[in-house]
Structure 1
Amino acid sequence: MPLDVKRLRVLRELAERGTVAATAAALSFTPSAVSQQLSALEREAGVVLLEREGRRLALTDAGRVLVAHADTVLAQLERAEADLHAASTEVSGTLNVAAFSSFARSLLPQAAAAMLRHQHLQLHVRDAEPQDSIPLLRLGELDVVIAQRFPYVPRDFGPAFHVVELFDDALHLATGPGHHDAPARFGALADRPWVAGHPGTSCHEVVIHACHAAGHEPRIVGFSNDFAVVAALVAQGVGLALIPEIAHDQAPPEVTLRPLDPPLSRQVLAVVRAGAEERPAVAAFLAELRAVAAGRPD
């Protein structure tokens, strides 16, 4: 019986995450669904891929062999599909795209609109943070993800993905009433209240790590990954925040935005499965993303 590609991706995720629970959380599955997918993959493979060690599932030798080939196999399948599509120069089929919220609001609509000229392409777009969209990209449910890489928070996508760097998006200190005297240096911001992203997200971690690097613990009093919400809280004097340049237009007049000293910026990236970048629809969309990025005002 041939191996199911989605189940092979689940096995690879288990090898990276270590537990069924962590794999389920990464893929937005239930643990039961992960176990069912892995059991079905074992039946397809005809060999035992996993064995129980206490409460954990561990890869057998056969499981490790299969995982070792997974990235190569999956990338080659993507390239094979790309070659098949490339036989026709027409951009067609279905393209599923996700972008983090500030990009989805500001730049994604331009790139999506440019793709409308391809009459035989069905484009589906959504807003989603990388921690939710990257697992769906792994499973083949998305084709392109717009992600972000923050300073102090390294994000290594690994050989399973092809990454295109679009632009650097400067992070500015946002201050409101009661805090306009705050210097734009992390070393001088001890004891100031902060509005940051939700715990576990890069927008949260960058504040934590930047303050730690400056020698103090941030006092975070507000949490949101929506920069309109963040800016509104800053405008009322609730706390300071880091707001990227592409979200400056969401800041009310009460908010002052200043470059940090030293400067900080996040990288905005387009991520696709390795090999898929050669597929005509994906290549066309990546070209539109590059054009939109290049056309941003300085």
Structure 2
Amino acid sequence: MVTLDLRRLRFLRELEERGTLGAVAAALDYSPSAVSQQLALLEKETGTRLFEKAGRGVRLTDAGRLLAQHARILLAAAEAAEADLAALSDEVRGAVRAGGLQSAARRLLVPAVARMAADHPQVRVEISELELEQALPELRLGSVDVIVSDEYDGHPRPRPAGLEFTLLHEEPLRVVLPAAHPLAADGGEVAIAALRDDVWVASDEGTGHYAMVVGTCRALGGYEPDLRHRSGDADVQLELVRVAGAVALLPAMTLPPADPALAIRDVAGAGTGRRLFLVTRDAPPTPALTAFLAAVTDQAARLR
């Protein structure tokens, strides 16, 4: 009779998802040799060849892929059992690992941490700043419990199976200009087409914000923007507007309440906006996660 170790099954599932021993080691905070040792023990326990050489690395055999599928089911069942047991306790305790993009971390997640510290001091909350492209795989694998994701009008995000998306907040996008920009003078709406000759700043290529800026300039202006500056930090983008004369298109949540060096204007024509979502695994949440989700939702309501 084969006895399967859940911890080693987690290594197997991580290898299936991440592809290399080095990536598994980095994700789980082990050395590559320790990961290799654990997987070798799993192979010995099952008496089945689970891996084969592939260049300098390894890949799963058919048996390895089959066991990885069962590992996902077993690990999900173990997570559900832990949540059910935690629900029997009169005290909310445990850990919550949350991630999100910079503006969401600052305006939603950090205030929720303070709320949890006051209301549920036995809950350990960990916050990481993550872009959606990085966060979704971590959520699916259980490295984080909840993320705050964004989605721009006209640029839908992927919704992988096994994850639950809950609308949290909606906000408009604003054109941000240097205060001395000619289009800033009258305080009215600014047409994207009128910014054809300006230098733009956006987040890194491959992010939702980058795709939105490029797509908006194409759709509303009919041109490819001169995207000379790129940063995932909204404060850096704003500084490039102030000092370097760039222009930006940013969600309201990322903007300062008042700044004499900036002109913040509505976008003329078609409305443009951003939606924020709470994303969790499609599984029963622990009491600690339920409390944290409520704290984030309350904070979003305050912003509205």
- Please indicate the TM-score interval, normalised by the length of the shorter structure: 0.7 to 0.9
Alignment of 1:51-130 (within 5 A): 51-52=52-53, 59-115=60-116, 116-130=118-132
In the TM superposition, what is the alpha-carbon distance from 1:248 to its structure 2 partner? 1.8
Alignment counterpart, residue 277 of structure 2, candidates 266, 269, 272: 269
CA distance in 1, matches of 2:194, 2:33: 49
Q: Does 1:173 align with 2:180?
A: no
- Is the deviation greater in 107-116 or in 123-132? 123-132
| 1:196-226 deviation digits (Å, cap 9, x = unpaired) | 1123332223223333445422211212222
Counterpart residue type for residue 20 of structure 2: V
The structure number with the bigger radius of gyration is 2
* Structure 1: runs of 5 or more not aligned: none
Work out the CA distance in 1 between the residues paired with 2:216 and 2:238. 20
CA drift of 1:141 comes to 3.6
Question: For residues 96 and 63 of structure 1, do their structure 2 counterparts lie closer, same or farther at Cα, with a shift above 3 Å needed?
Answer: same
Using the alignment, how far apart are the partners of 1:25 and 1:264 within structure 2?
A: 41
Deviation at 1:30, TM superposition (A): 10
SS of 2:49 mapped into structure 1: coil
Aligned length: 292
The alpha-carbon deviation at position 69 of structure 1 amounts to 4.0
Q: Structure 1 residues 122, 27: closer, same or farther in 2, change over 3 A?
A: closer
Q: Which moved more, 1:286-295 or 1:232-241?
A: 232-241
Q: Is residue 233 of structure 2 the alignment partner of residue 230 of structure 1? A: no
- 1:149–1:35 Cα change, 3 Å: farther
Letter in 1 for 2:169: F
Change (3 A) 1:130 1:62: same
SS at match of 2:245: coil
- From 194, 217, 221, the counterpart of 1:211: 217
1:50 is displaced (CA, Å) by 4.1
Task: Give the C-alpha shift of residue 114 in structure 1.
Answer: 1.8
CA contact (8 A) 1:6 1:140 kept: no
The answer for the alignment partner of 2:202 in structure 1 is 196
- Calculate percent identity across the aligned residue pairs: 34
Q: Distance in 2 between matches of 1:34 and 1:153?
A: 41
TM-score by length of 1: 0.80
Aligned AA for 1:2?
Answer: D
Q: Structure 1 residues 256 and 80, CA, compared in 2 at 3 Å: closer, same or farther?
A: same
Partner in structure 2 of residue 242 of structure 1: 249
Equivalent residues of 2:16, 2:60 under 8 A apart: no
Contact 1:20-1:35 within 8 A present in 2 as well: no
- Alpha-carbon spacing, 1:43–1:203, altered in 2? closer, same or farther (3 Å): farther
8 Å CA contact 1:111, 1:288 repeated in 2: yes
